[in-house]
Amino acid sequence: MDELKGLPEATVIHDSSDLEPFLRDESHMVGLPPLAVVKPHGPAALRELVRLAKTEGFGLVPRGAGTGKAGGCLPTPRSVVVDFSQWPGDIRVSPQDLCLSAPASAPLREVKAAAQAQGLFYPPDPNSWESCALGGTLATNAGGPNACKYGMTRHWVLAVDVLLEDGEIHTFGISSVKANAGPALSQLFIGSEGLFGFIVGATLRLIPQPREHTTLLLPVKRWEDLLDLPGRLCGDGYLPSAFEFFDPAVLAELRAHGPETARRLPGEALAILEFDERGSTSEAYLEGLLDLLGPMAEGLEIASDERQRQNIWAVRRMTSVFLKERHPKKVSEDIVVPRSRLREFFEGLDRLGCPAVTYGHLGDGNLHVNLLAAGDTEPALLERQLMDLFRLAVNLGGTLSGEHGIGLAKREAFLALGDPAQIQALRALKQAMDPCGIFNPGKVI
Ligand code: MLT
Ligand code: ZN
């Protein structure tokens, strides 16, 4: 695209073989070849890109590290990918203000480490936390195991710097948890997958770093045994910082074909529970937990040191990649149902007769239902199976995505199953904020 040749403050990629890596993210979708990929280094590039997008009629597709699970960063027809990996800026921690500011390009790993170096904690921990970029986690409102105690990315955002359709960068929010001068517009951009503008930086809330962790492997006969546990724990004053689970099929795969540490995992189904409050490694705390678990505690294993804890998490963290290596064409979903409806969900899933295995964030009702045979399933049937799955979650008061977003992968289902009033409101907002439709066209709505 000739118009992009003189773009200031940017690296521009045109060569079709160099465009290839931008056609994919971590979803099962593939994008169309973009007109070009632009890596902006400064605001002048964005200003000019926005101007050109309007005059030449192309779309702008934001990209972070490409670790998304819903195709949100994949190029659509007549689009230019805006890759924020070279966007400048430093990570700055302010212990006094209990916050941190960072550019969209900052690796989440470095953001978390910068906080930790000051004894502070930035909790969001998507599975891709070691490879994803902050900007992508903001655009998709990423979640992870910690969300059952600490909430999603959006709960940690104080302010965002956003490229708007006037071509300029505007800041929404201030570096304080208290800011009530009108609605919190910063939140509009979190999880909106670049529909209203592109996030180039943010100010994030921090809290003191937890200093103790108790990590438990809780083997059970059936996943049903776990269903009332989150409620019972909280009722007794125990709020887990993570409550993960593997169903018998996933656990069997891990044990049979996973790494050495997975081969020793106990149980027919298995929960991983972690507690991180002060005192959680004390004997009194553990005794209280054992009392509460009662007969369930039989077979319980407690990580006795940081190495054992890290081994447990390493298995949990590699589960998605491991299943993908074994079933390269699998489709992995991330539905949510209220915890009180989990039993009905699993019963409904059985009734659907859809060949699925499940693991994930049981503590907050966010389940990774994996259709391992998706690659061998006739496309129309696969689509029906996915729609049935989504409908089941929605009818139980849940939703079709807990942490991965809608992007391209779930757009049709979102439009079919979403509340029409909500979709209309989103479209009205889109029209108001992006009247020329240049920001991530063809995604979400
Ligand atoms: C996970 O929790 O393992 C990921 O969010 C799930 C996935 O990779 O599909
Ligand atoms: Zn997950």
Separation of CA 142 and ligand 1 centre (Å)? 11
366 lines ligand 1 (CB under 6 A): no
In the reported structure, the alpha carbon of residue 1 is separated from the centroid of ligand 2 by a whole-number distance in angstroms of 38
Ligand 1 center to 309 CA (angstroms): 19
Nearest CA to ligand 1 atom 3: 320
pLDDT in tens, 414-439: 999 999 999 999 999 999 999 999 99
Residue 435 lies in a domain: no
- Which amino acid type is present at position 355? P
User: What is the 319 CA–ligand 1 centroid distance (Å)?
Assistant: 8
Assess whether pLDDT exceeds 90 at residue 225: no
CATH of residue 283? 3.40.462.10
On whether both 66 and 193 belong to a single domain, the answer is no
324 and 279 inside one domain: yes
C-alpha angle with apex 161: 156 to 162, nearest 5 degrees? 115
- The number of domains in the chain is 3
pLDDT at 331: 94
Query: CB–CB of 399/125 below 8 Å?
Result: no
Ligand 1 neighbourhood includes 332 CB (under 6 angstroms): yes
Can you tell me which atom of ligand 1 is nearest the CA of 145? Answer: 2
Considering every ligand atom, which ligand is closest to the CA of 147? 2
Residue where a domain terminates, one of 61, 86, 111: 86
pLDDT of residue 30: 96
Domain membership flag for residue 418: no
119 and 80 belong to one structural domain: no
The answer to the question of residue 203 being in a domain is yes
304 and 280 in a single domain? The answer is yes
Residue owning the nearest CA to atom 4 of ligand 1:
127
Same-domain check for residues 198 and 287:
no
Domain check: are 57 and 113 in the same one?
no
Q: Which atom of ligand 1 is nearest to the CA of 360?
A: 2
The answer to whether residues 319 and 362 belong to one domain is yes
Percentage of residues in the chain having pLDDT higher than 70: 100
Q: 126 C-alpha vs ligand 1 centroid, how far in Å?
A: 8
Q: Are residues 333 and 382 in the same domain?
A: yes
Residues 82 and 118 in one domain: no
Decide whether any atom of ligand 1 lies within 6 Å of the 320 Cβ: yes
Using DSSP bridges, classify how beta strands 92-94 and 79-83 pair: parallel, antiparallel or unpaired.
Answer: unpaired
- Ligand 1 center to residue 156 CA distance, Å? 21
> In this structure, are residues 105 and 84 in contact, taking their beta carbons and an 8 Å threshold?
yes
Q: Is residue 266 situated within a structural domain?
A: yes
Same structural domain, 258 and 305: yes
Tell whether ligand 1 has an atom less than 6 A from the beta carbon of residue 79: no
316 lines ligand 1 (CB under 6 A): no
pLDDT of residue 422: 96
The candidate with the shortest Cα–Cα distance to 136, out of 196, 65, 205, 88, is 65
Question: What are 248-300's pLDDT values in tens digits?
Answer: 999 999 999 999 999 999 999 999 999 999 999 999 999 999 999 999 999 99
Residues 6+ apart with CB under 8 A from 203: 99, 100, 101, 157, 158, 159, 160, 173, 174, 175
Final residue in a domain of this structure, among 47, 67, 86: 86
**Structure token digits, residue 250:** 């996933």
- Quick one: residue 73, left, alpha or beta (phi over 0 = left, psi -120 to 50 = alpha)? alpha
Question: What 3-state class would DSSP assign to 207?
Answer: strand
Ligand 1 atom with minimal separation from the 361 CA: 2
Looking up residue 100, the CATH number of its domain turns out to be: 3.30.465.10
14 in the same domain as 161: no
Q: Distance of CA 244 to CAs 127, 159, 361, Å?
A: 12, 30, 5
Res. 173 pLDDT band, cuts 50 70 90: very high
Q: What is the pLDDT of residue 415?
A: 98
Is 445 inside a domain boundary? no
Domain that holds residue 173: 93-208
- Asked if residue 363 has pLDDT above 90, the reply is yes
Whether the per-residue pLDDT at 1 is higher than 90: the answer is: no
**Which protein residue's CA is at the shortest distance from atom 5 of ligand 1?**
127
**Does any domain span residue 116?**
yes
Does residue 354 have a pLDDT over 90? no
Distance from residue 345's CA to the centre of ligand 1 (Å): 19
pLDDT of 2: 86
**Is the separation of the CB atoms in 352 and 392 below 8 Å?**
yes
323, 327, 334, 364: which to mutate for ligand 1, most atoms within 8 A of CB? Answer: 334
Question: What is residue 221's predicted lDDT score, i.e. its pLDDT?
Answer: 85
> Within a domain: residue 432?
no
Of 162, 186, 208, the residue that ends a domain is 208
- Residue 261 sits in the same domain as residue 359: yes
C-alpha angle 403-407-408 in degrees, rounded to nearest 5:
135
In this structure, the residue with its CA closest to atom 7 of ligand 1 is 320
The answer to whether residue 174 is domain-embedded is yes
C-beta of 368 in contact with ligand 1 (< 6 A): yes
d(CA 33, ligand 1 centre) in Å: 27
- Supply the DSSP string of 308-372, one letter for each residue: HHHHHHHHHHHHHHHHHHHSTT-EE-BEE--GGGHHHHHHHHHHHT---EEEEEGGGTEEEEEET
